[in-house]
Amino acid sequence: MNQQSNRKKDILTAALSCFTDMGIAATSIDDIRLKSGASIGSIYHHFSNKEGLATALFREGLEGYRQGLIDVLSEAQSGEVLVKGAVDFHVEWALAHPDKVRFMLYAKREMSVLADDAVVREETGDFLSRVKALFTPFIIKGEIRQFPKELYIPLLSGPSQELIRIWLSHPKVIDLKGMKPYLAEAAWNALRPSS
């Protein structure tokens, strides 16, 4: 039970590493076999195929990010702390897991168009509901401005997300950590009441 889990995790780790280095299309199952030490049969036992492997990685990353964000948001006592805390977490997560971010950002939809969207959609729906529940009280209290609901995520994380994207391409040039205060301030300015 332990050996098995490790083997599965080894495959995921090797795959993420290969995907990061060479891109999904360019990494062969054999590359993953060599790097993970698993056999072809073992890889196909644990994952349906290359796409299934990519999907598993994607979901694993998403799950970690979402759980962390919910934890941070749950503790906020004011609208400002909520918003700035979310931005801070977002950037810190990227700094801590650059490979996962790169993979999730660039490799996602590539693999197939719908995949198992049933499950992914449900998880996404749950996540959005939970985030909404954490924002709502502050909107009602007037600490956060009211917007059409689809705008909250773009206003909150859009600039951070865009800077992270640039940072992934030019890690040496961009001081992502140093930009955190600006990003937090910008998000708060966009979401605070009036102006």
Partner DNA sequence: TATAATTCTAGAATAATATTCTAATTTCAA
Partner DNA sequence: TTGAAATTAGAATATTATTCTAGAATTATA
CA 31 to chain centre: 25
- Distance (Å, whole) CA 188 – CA 84: 7
Q: List residues binding DNA (CB under 7 A).
A: 1-4, 7-8, 27-30, 37-42, 44-46, 48-51
The two tokens of residue 140 are 């009602």
35 touches a second copy by CB under 8 A: no
Nearer to a second copy, 12 or 191 (CB): 191
Q: Which residue, chain included where needed, has tokens 């990003």?
A: 183
- The answer for residues whose C-beta is within 8 angstroms of residue 55's C-beta and 6 or more apart is 111, 115, 116
Q: Is 2 in the site for a second copy (CB under 8 A)?
A: no
Q: Does 166 bind a second copy (CB under 8 A)?
A: yes
Q: Which of 75, 147, 171, 193 binds a second copy (CB under 8 A)?
A: 147
Residues 87, 187: Cα–Cα separation, whole Å = 8
Beta strands in the chain (DSSP E): none
Task: Please say which residue, 46 or 90, places its beta carbon nearer to DNA.
Answer: 46
Shortest distance, position 174 Cβ to a second copy, whole Å: 5
100 binds a second copy (CB under 8 A): no
For residues 125, 127, 133, 138, the Cα torsion angle rounded to the nearest 10 degrees is -120
Judged by the rule CB under 8 A, the positions of this chain that interact with a second copy are: 21-26, 50-51, 102, 106-113, 147-148, 150-151, 153-155, 157-163, 166, 173-175, 178-179, 182-183, 186, 189-190, 195
